[in-house]
Amino acid sequence: MKTYIIIPALEKNNYSDKGDLLRWGDSNLLEWKIHQALQIKNISNVIVSSPSKNIQKITKKYKVKFHYRNKNLSINKLHYDLSRKYLNSFLLWLNPTSPFISPDIINKFLNKFIKNKKKFDSAVITKKEDEYFFYKRIPLNFNI
């Protein structure tokens, strides 16, 4: 069974007016997540889904697939539409706003999930951060 990584990306979101293009070290959240996704083993393809032409340019730079979606499409409808498009496949959703889940953790998670695929049809991976992160004296993961 094929496994695809889906990265939903927006230029603006509830977290920032720069959305997934918010600077993250020497790149931005989206580029960071694409770089992580390209380190995941046994993946058929990495697909970034967005209504943004700027985000589409980034996908070309990293040679990953781009899925255009309507800007008014809800995340639930996006999940539904892509699950219909990639029937009989595993879809691994990686959000740029979760930069601390490393490729190593994702690979271990995916291996366990695939070994137990007859027991489960879906799974979720999260990582709780009990720390407060700042960049140039600006909070990254909380509001003051």
Give the global pTM: 0.84
CA distance 38 to 41: 8
Q: Average model confidence (pLDDT) for the chain? A: 89
37-55: pLDDT as tens digits = 999 999 999 999 999 999 9
Least confident of 41-50, 83-92, 135-144: 135-144
CA distance 73 to 93: 17
Please determine, for residue 56, whether its predicted confidence score (pLDDT) is greater than 80. yes
120-133: pLDDT as tens digits = 877 777 776 666 67
| Phi-psi label, residue 42: left if phi above 0, alpha if psi -120 to 50, beta otherwise | left
- Taking every pair of Cα atoms in the chain, the longest distance, rounded to a whole number of angstroms, is 48
Least confident of 23-27, 116-120, 137-141: 137-141
